[in-house]
Amino acid sequence: MKKKRFVRHYVTTKREKAGPCNICKTHTELTWDHVPPKGGIDLTAVEMEKVSELFVVGHDEIKFSESQNGVKYRTVCKSCNETIGHRYDPALNEFSLTVGRYLKSGLSFPRVVHHRAKPAAMIRAILGHLAAAKIEIDDCPFDRNVREFVLDEDKPIPDDIFIFYWLYPYEQSITMRDFAMPTVRGNFSTGIGFCQVLKYFPIAYLVINKPAYEGLEELTRYRNLSVDEEVEIPILLDRVEHAHWPEIVDDYNIVLASKTTGNAILAKPKRKKR
Ligand SMILES: [Zn+2]
């Protein structure tokens, strides 16, 4: 059997017990935020294998970063943490559960399925957790933008924040902040997008300041809905990318990393052997 190579890369995910909250900036006691949030779908090893057989093309040869059981960041205050956890996370988790259950339900799937979702709440959950997933308190435009609207349901989602999503049939989760890449892979003349990713079974999300990316479905097209509004949103089941797409550096792509990008975390769930 081929040996897997791991590059050990340890990152810090906590600040002091007290400090400024990554979201409201209040100097107070900090609490742990789970990224991705707890409460999404948790497949058994057998189920995961079944889903992988159906969807995964090729093998994941790239191993980077630390492997651990879930990632949490001590970067947000209790109040922000609870608002995201109670008000927005249920929508994100419900969507993961619905899609996940669907994927493990059968053997043949149509090209596109639609699932009910609350996109405005999902958008706020995704952005809130990405804001928490950074050790240093930062004034970069993305963080500033997110702080201004994420907990205020009356404020619109900023015009230059776009979220794209696609099927992610992998068991690891990947969070990567603050990197830049061409909006068309390998083509600098098309412009550079400023990006964040939050990827975990069964859906991956790319946040970028450009209105399109590689033909992916856009979650922010529902940005004008209220937090509680539900719509049916499409998922392309015939679109499966590599686990490290799109942030992978390959023949077609280049990624410009920031200091925070180096803190990207890949986490694999601990599983009992069959
Ligand atoms: Zn706060």
Going from the Cα of 20 to the center of ligand 1, the distance in angstroms, rounded, reads: 8
What pLDDT is stored for residue 147 in this prediction? 93
Strands 265-267 and 173-184: antiparallel
In the reported structure, the alpha carbon of residue 163 is separated from the centroid of ligand 1 by a whole-number distance in angstroms of: 23
For 22-53, the pLDDT digits (tens) are: 999 999 999 999 988 988 877 777 777 777 67
pLDDT digits (tens, 9 = 90+) for 148-191: 999 999 999 999 999 999 999 988 888 888 888 889 887 778 88
* Ligand 1 centroid – CA 26 distance (Å): 6
Q: What is the pLDDT of residue 115?
A: 95
**For residue 67, pLDDT beyond 80:** no
What pLDDT is attached to residue 9?
40
Q: How far is the CA of 194 from the centre of ligand 1 (A)?
A: 24
The DSSP call for residue 185 is T
pLDDT score, position 193: 92
pTM score of the predicted model: 0.87
Residue 142 has pLDDT above 60, yes or no: yes
What is the Å distance from ligand 1's center to 174 Cα? 24
CA distance 70 to 270: 9
* Average pLDDT of the segment spanning 229-246: 93
